[in-house]
Amino acid sequence: MKKNTVHSIMERYQQLPTHNGKHASSCTLDQKTLEKIAEFNVQSNPIHYSVIYEWLSEIDPYFTDTVQTNIDNNNYNDNTAETLYMTLVAQFLHEKIPNEEMESLLNGLIAHISNWITHSKQRQSIILNDLHSILEQELPPQVSHTLTSSVMPNFLSLHEETEQLREQVSKSSTAVDKLKEELKKANFFAKTDELTNIPNRRGFNENMEGVVQLSLQNQSPFALILLDLDFFKKVNDTFGHIVGDSALRYVSKLLKEETKGRDCIARIGGEEFSIILPDTSYDNAIKVAENIRLKIASKTLSVKDQKKPLKLTLSSGIAIYRKGEDIETLFQRADEALYLAKNNGRNRVCGEQDLQT
């Protein structure tokens, strides 16, 4: 973890709500944080301090609600705090992700190193055996002397140096292997939305390809649901982007809870999400989308220094994959159904069959 991570996190508190035109005193929060650490009987370390400070500051409603739930359930401890802390830190860490071309180059480098180590060892073994065979024969004294006093020592010295080189190259190969593993992780994160920790558009496209192949193989339908938070710009304008980000994480968490198995969720735009439901009929997809809509509409998030809680609604559009069609066509039908839901008042679910009425 970068040394300035905690500092980056603490910079967030410059955005604390103000009282009488001045920022709320961080000293008060500092003291309350230390008091809560003592009350919870946990170690006074950066992890607990950051989590409890964030909880008390109520800057991020979703994070505050998550911590509060753990506390209410007597489930706040070192393990849960570490998970919460990593969630918090993830919002501030942005890694530059290598691409697939780099992985291909690394694979080629690993193969080349491995081949060199194997072939050089085989060649030296053959030469060494040949030299020993020659020395075992009856040779003219001068030839034998040259071989034993000059050729053999020089070769053994070269052999030793090459062994050392192979050892160094082998270590380099291990380092490259480790780099390759890190690259796999990086590629995973390249397909993951850093804010919500669910697949992004790139991950969505990859999942869609797999579901299409499975659908064709099993001759089974699948459904695509597009979901869009209603009036989300107003949420950002009214409460700020930190609260808006919190709302997006909350929706992502709910989507995870409401889907399972082979279902694939993704954040494919600013406030737009998608769900792929393999082996699912049109009617069942409508039920899933309606259940999610009701869950979102029934929940409120409290926001510090705001009289009214944050209430979210979303609209959804649904389409069923038709054998042989391209993904853009499927996506367009679901998108048209989504816009129908938006135009008909929002906070509703529309399917492609509604487009025909």
Instruction: Give per-residue pLDDT as tens, 110-125.
Output: 676 667 767 777 777 7
Q: Which among 40-44, 275-279, 300-304 has the top mean pLDDT?
A: 275-279
Q: Quick check: 107 pLDDT over 70?
A: no
Strand, helix or coil at 107?
helix
Q: Which residues are catalytic?
A: 271
End-of-domain residue from the set 190, 214, 232: 190
Mean predicted confidence (pLDDT) in 324-333: 92
Return the HEC string of 272-336: EEEEEEECCCHHHHHHHHHHHHHHHHHCEECCCCCCCCEECCEEEEEEECCCCCCHHHHHHHHHH
Confidence of residue 62 (pLDDT cuts 50, 70, 90): confident
Residues 66 and 169 in one domain: no
Looking at residue 251, its pLDDT comes to 95
Range of the domain at 145: 100-190
Pair (73, 128) in one structural domain: no
Confidence of residue 57 (pLDDT cuts 50, 70, 90): confident
Residues 217 and 336 in one domain: yes
Q: Are residues 21 and 106 in the same domain?
A: no
In a domain, 162, yes or no: yes
Task: Give a yes or no: residue 250 inside a domain.
Answer: yes
Q: The tokens of 105 are what? A: 């180059």
pTM of the complete model:
0.59
Asked if residue 196 is part of any domain, the answer here is no
pLDDT at 91: 55
Pair (165, 112) in one structural domain: yes
pLDDT tens profile 9-53 = 444 444 444 444 444 455 688 889 999 999 999 988 888 988 999
